[in-house]
A and B are shown apart, each in its own frame.
Chain A
Amino acid sequence: MPGSEPVPQQETDDTMQIHLDAEKCQGHNRCYALAPELFDVDDYGQAVLMEEGDVPDGLKDKARLAAANCPEYAITLTGD
């Protein structure tokens, strides 16, 4: 692990899971624009979550941004 910061004591509280409900996605393309590290789009413009599950530490803000801008509420975060 880089750095010497102590491991957070309540690690489970610090994990964030991201989930995309493909049925709800209507291709507004907000997540891909705001968080391209987490989302891609397919040939039809529908969102694709690149990795289901845990969000890497450096991308949590982007995950929150993507979720907070989805007009269809298709993105959910848990453990945040």
Chain B
Amino acid sequence: MTDTLDPQPSTETIPEDAPAPSEFGMRDSIIGDSPEGTDVWQRVPYNADDYGPVSDFATDFDHADKDYNPNAPKVWKQLRDDGCPVAHSDRYGGMWIPITHEAVHDVAYDTDNFTSRSVVVAVGRPGDLAMPAPIGAVPPISSDPPFHGKARRMLLPPFAPKQIEPWEDEVRILCRRLLDQMGEITPGESVVDAAVQYAQHIPVNVIGRMLGFPEEDEALFREFVHVALETIAQEPGTRGGIDDLGKYIRAQIEDHRENPRDDLTSYLMNMELDGEKLSDDIVGGSIILLLVAGIDTTWSAIGSSLWHLAQSPGDRQRLADDPEVMTFAIEEFLRAYAPVTMARMVAKDNEFHGCPMKKDDWVLLPFPAANRDPKQFEDADSFIIDREINRHSAFGLGIHRCLGSNLARLELKVAIEEFIARFPNFELAGDVTWSVGQIRGPRVLPVRILAD
């Protein structure tokens, strides 16, 4: 059990010529022109070459270190064992990293001291908003109270459980189609990539369909999400495709204006906030949020779960013998392999768990680390498929609980059910490549299909 819960230590070393972080991070790219008063600025000139690979995660933490995601659970355990509930790093101009469930919880709940103005750590940081009610670039994830509540309430209904349930059949058909497309399978020989050929297609396809976007544009969304979330460490000028996507979304909004239909894009365009229709900018920002937040994350959760099952014949058998255990299994996949680490910025100087936090410091919010805290979970580093007490925080804690959690759960459940129904037995068949950055999951996942 525990031996298959976490990836084996990576034997790869980080190349000395690892690319430097881009000068302005990604925020400018995500939203185009910054609103007045939100210029991106750097606190100190930052060059990753001055730092190199992480030597000590307690004092030099970097979640974008290539070795972090494959080894993250070991990093968290080491920090907890060393009595370090909050780690620190000078990287990115200053960043704090709470590790324990308690510390993560306390940051997530304290919206006075920690702002959501930017939820992705980057070298450049957004300045104070000029507006009294912080909205941020992609509401409501980037918003603080009181605006947050209004923006969120607007988006909640289409993602409420009873609105999501009817999508099950469509998700199931999609999963079966992806499995069909793997072609002729010879048990014992055929190797498929469960991330590239399966997991990554599911959420992008579903959210695209909910938005009413053409199916053939799937690859474009995927590229965008990759660019936004996994290229913290790339040179400026390598983030192609974003402007094109902005134009594309504007064209979709225009098309929906001319031909309104029963989908999420038209829903957003018809919403009113304080008695006024949303501007195209806000509609576009919300669409970008739905794409970015919904694709990479669920793809990671599906991939990690299949990665686990590839190494756990006992758990595969249990799911086959006792399908009802899936209710608990899904939550245990989400707990043990939570894909999403969020971030906050310190809103005002404060002392947090003994740490002197300064305004505009970054604070990473590793919900996956909180989920492995033995003070919160019995036998936290073991995967217990029928774990009955499971207050995991894979979807966050507090007011920013993942808006798409009901959709994500549905996709995860159906994706696993369909995969193991088609392929009851499979094993890892080569090197697994893990993502880099705040979203953790396998990006290359070769599995060999075995006889039933």
Chain A 11-32 per-residue mask, 1 if CB under 8 angstroms from chain B, else 0: 0000000000000001111101
When the two chains form their complex, are residues B159 and A71 in contact, meaning their CB atoms are under 8 A apart?
A: no
Instruction: Produce 1/0 per residue, B325-337, CB < 8 A to A.
Output: 0010001000000
Q: Pick the contact of A65: B153, B157, B388, B405 (CB < 8 A).
A: B388
- The reply to whether A41 and B327 form a contact with Cβ atoms under 8 Å apart is no
Q: Are A29 and B405 closer than 8 Å at their CB atoms?
A: yes
Does B393 lie within 8 Å of A71, measured CB to CB? yes
Q: What's the nearest-Cβ distance from chain A to residue B419, in Å?
A: 21
- Chain A contact-residue range equals 20 to 34
Asked whether B161 lies within 8 Å of A29 as measured between CB atoms, the reply is: yes
Complex CA gap A71/B398 in Å reads 9
A70 part of interface (Cβ distance < 8 Å)? yes
**Which residues of chain A (53-80) have a CB below 8 Å from chain B?**
65, 68-73
Q: B160 near A: Cβ within 8 Å? A: yes
| Residues of chain A with a CB closer than 8 A to B397's CB | 26, 71-72
Known: A68-B391, A70-B391. A44 touches B331 (CB 8 A): no
B399 contacts the other chain (CB 8 A): yes
Q: A73 to B397, alpha carbons, bound, how many Å? A: 11
CB B165 to nearest CB in A, in angstroms, measures: 11
Interface size of B by Cβ–Cβ distance < 8 Å?
A: 22
| CB-based contact B393/A29 at 8 Å | no
Residues of B within 8 A of A73 (CB): 391
Q: Does the CB pair B391–A26 fall under 8 Å?
A: no
Residues from chain A with a CB closer than 8 A to the CB of B398 are 26, 72
A43 at the interface (CB under 8 A from B): yes
CA distance A37 to B160 in the complex (A): 18
Residue of B nearest to A30 (CB): B331
Tell me which residues across on chain A come within 8 A of B389, comparing CB atoms: 68-69
* A26-B401, A27-B401, A71-B393 given; A45·B388 CB < 8 A: no
Chain B minimum-CB-distance residue to A73: B391
- Is A44 touching B153 in the complex (CB atoms < 8 A)? yes
* A16 CB to nearest B CB, Å: 17
How distant is the Cα of A26 from the Cα of B390 in the complex, in angstroms?
Answer: 16
| Contact A28 B405, CB 8 Å, known A33-B327, A41-B161 | yes
Q: From residue B145, how far is it (CB to closest CB) to chain A in Å?
A: 13
Q: Is the CB of B391 within 8 A of A45?
A: no
Q: A28 to B331, alpha carbons, bound, how many Å?
A: 12
Which residues of A sit under 8 angstroms from B391, Cβ to Cβ?
68-71, 73
Asked if A27 and B331 sit within 8 Å, CB to CB, the answer is no
Candidates A34, A45, A71, A72; contact of B161 at CB < 8 Å: A45
Q: What is the CB-to-nearest-CB distance from B328 to chain A, in angstroms, rounded to a whole number?
A: 9
Chain B residues lying within 8 Å of A68, measured Cβ to Cβ, are 388-391
**Cβ contact within 8 Å between B153 and A28:** no
Residue interface bits B383-394, CB-to-A below 8 A is 1, else 0? 000001111110
Does B395 contact A28, Cβ atoms closer than 8 Å? Answer: yes
By a beta-carbon cutoff of 8 Å, the part of chain A in contact with chain B is 26-30, 32-34, 41-45, 65, 68-73
Can you list 18 A-B contacts (CB < 8 A)?
A: A27-B156, A28-B401, A34-B327, A42-B160, A43-B157, A43-B162, A44-B153, A44-B160, A45-B156, A45-B157, A65-B388, A69-B331, A69-B389, A69-B390, A71-B391, A71-B393, A72-B397, A73-B391
Question: When A and B form their complex, which 5 residue pairs have the shortest distance between CB atoms, in order from nearest?
Answer: A45-B160, A26-B401, A44-B156, A68-B389, A71-B391
